[in-house]
Amino acid sequence: MNQLSSIASDYDMIRAAIRYLSEHGPDIADLQGFALSLGLTERQLTELFRRWCGLSPKSFAQAVALDHAKSLLRQKQSVLDTTYQVGLSSTSRLHELFVAYEAMPPGMFRSGGAGLDMIWGTALSPFGTAVLTATEYGLSGIGFADEHTSVDMAFADLAHRWPNARFIRNDAHIAPLAAQAFDPGQWLADRPVRIVLIGTDFEVKVWETLLKIPLGQAATYQGVANHIGKPSASRAVGAAVGRNPISFVVPCHRVVGSTGALTGYHWGVPRKRAILGWEAGVISAAP
């Protein structure tokens, strides 16, 4: 089993752990009780988190705590409009620096993908089973399946925006694209993850802005609205963030409410917490 497969196989247990943290809060005073609730020893619990994200259970809990989100927003460097100082000069292997994107022509969007062939398939990810779609230009969609959302449901969620496209399932074709998206070891500047942004002009502007939020940072819906020159459109920004078709790679999970609250996420708030905690582990492992 390779490293990504091992990490992916841990996600069901991690999801149960996140459910526990959501109910009991981020301050883990009773680590033994936390472990026992999952049927693990304290050592096994620590090894699970170390294996999955490189953090201790307590560090993971702190990484996704509400207070952590608030503290990010209190720091000027974490507000979207001042984060652009974190660029290629950064020593961190920031995910967004290794994503190349382009927007589909408006005519293709209006036609619902008429004449467009898309490949789709499933692959392992650190956050459960991922469902991906791709065109010849790059990834066009990422969603997730779990006990509440079947693979078919997740695929339908991604495909419905392109009612006139032809979808062909090919898991083998999707596998290397998924590995490049989810494996930090493959986030390489000379081989960027190629994605295709497909939406209205407003949505594409919002998604382009999301790509500029650095790993470990947070932005508010209002901050995104200000950045695109639409300060009164925070609700519309929220809707566009919710319609982001390329979850994780286009980091809509880094957008929080004005108070720092981890507000709704299309694929579930527990998964949003998981992604934020996992990214904290990526940052701690960065050179």
State the catalytic residues. Answer: 252
From residue 46, alpha-carbon distances to 33, 51, 58, 216 in Å are 13, 9, 9, 22
Q: What is the DSSP annotation of 230-285?
A: -TT-HHHHHHHHHT-SBTTTS-GGGEE-TTS-----TT-HHHHHHHHHHHHHHHHH
> Which residue intervals of the chain are DSSP H helices?
3-9, 11-24, 31-37, 42-53, 57-63, 66-74, 106-110, 151-159, 171-182, 201-210, 221-227, 234-242, 269-285
CA distance 53 to 17: 13
Amino acid symbol at 12: D
Within 8 A by CB and 6+ apart from 60, the residues are 49, 53, 277, 280, 281
Both tokens assigned to 220: 């508010």
Within 8 A by CB and 6+ apart from 115, the residues are 164
Alpha-carbon 146 to chain mean position: 15
